[in-house]
């Protein structure tokens, strides 16, 4: 299976690993509970406790994108799974600026709001990038939609949402926010890319609404 020549394997991987890093940070915040001081939250402890979930997600990412081991090494280079400080400023970025930058940015209410908005935003970007990697390879939507749906569910749990319909909610947000920019006639997307994304949108909807 050949990757589209204009699409770099590394750039596809970075598009996936970026939001996944946000999901991990946000998951650690949610897991720590309301009112926990950001400076005392350990990302390393969180990823250690959720190692099976994260390992499964990364394994599926590698399979969907057919990423080489050297490309997967980017995860270690980025270092979001290792212990590091979570700041209110980083949560502000992950959440798309839902809060105003101010001395109150680290308050429990602001952190809770940024974590909620950030989880929505990063799960949508993660799912979009995962579908994009499959489309770039020309993978059939019918066969590839199942592992993508399962990975969406696992990523949602990692971000702190274990609700049965979490993946369906992520799909609907993706369909409403990012998908039109790919599918609309005015988009710069090649015809083959539109066909690929549309096929995955239909296949994901079928699996999630079953």
Q: What percent of the chain has pLDDT over 90?
A: 92
Distance CA 113, CA 106 (A): 11
On the question of pLDDT at 2 being above 50, the answer is no
The pLDDT confidence band at residue 34, using thresholds 50, 70 and 90, is: confident
Residue 4 is classified by DSSP as P
And the tokens for 104? Answer: 């109150």
pTM of the model: 0.95
Please say whether the beta carbons of 63 and 155 come within 8 A. Answer: no
Q: Which residues contact 90 (CB under 8 A, 6 or more apart)?
A: 25
Q: Which residue has the higher pLDDT, 151 or 36?
A: 151
On the question of pLDDT at 25 being above 90, the answer is yes
> For 69-86, how does the pLDDT look when each residue is reduced to its tens digit (9 = 90+)?
999 999 999 999 999 999
Residue 128: Cβ-neighbour burial (10 angstroms; 0-12, 13-18, 19+): buried
| Average pLDDT taken over every residue of the chain | 94
On the question of pLDDT at 1 being above 50, the answer is no
> For 113-134, how does the pLDDT look when each residue is reduced to its tens digit (9 = 90+)?
999 999 999 999 999 999 999 9
> For 132-149, how does the pLDDT look when each residue is reduced to its tens digit (9 = 90+)?
999 999 999 999 999 999
Please say whether the beta carbons of 119 and 161 come within 8 A. Answer: yes
DSSP assignment string, 30-72? HHH-TT--GGG--HHHHHHHTHHHHHHHHHHHHHHHT--HHHH
């Amino acid at each position: 299976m050949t990757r589209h020549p204009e699409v770099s394997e590394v750039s596809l991987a970075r598009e996936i690993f970026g939001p996944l890093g946000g999901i991990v940070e946000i998951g650690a915040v949610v897991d720590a509970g309301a009112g926990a001081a950001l400076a005392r939250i350990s990302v390393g402890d969180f990823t250690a406790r959720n190692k099976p979930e994260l390992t499964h997600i990364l394994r599926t990412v590698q399979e969907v994108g057919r990423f080489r081991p050297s490309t997967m090494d980017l995860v270690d280079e980025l270092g979001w799974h290792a212990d590091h400080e979570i700041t209110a400023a980083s949560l502000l970025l992950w959440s798309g600026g839902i809060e105003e930058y101010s001395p109150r940015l680290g308050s429990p209410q602001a952190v809770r709001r940024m974590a909620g908005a950030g989880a929505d935003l990063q799960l949508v970007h993660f799912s979009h990038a995962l579908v994009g990697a499959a489309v770039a390879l020309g993978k059939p939507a019918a066969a590839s939609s199942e592992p993508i749906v399962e990975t969406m569910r696992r990523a949602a749990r990692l971000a702190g949402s274990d609700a049965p319909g979490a993946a369906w909610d992520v799909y609907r947000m993706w369909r409403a926010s990012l998908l039109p920019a790919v599918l609309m006639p005015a988009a710069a997307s090649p015809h083959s890319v539109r066909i690929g994304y549309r096929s995955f949108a239909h296949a994901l909807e079928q699996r999630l609404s079953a």
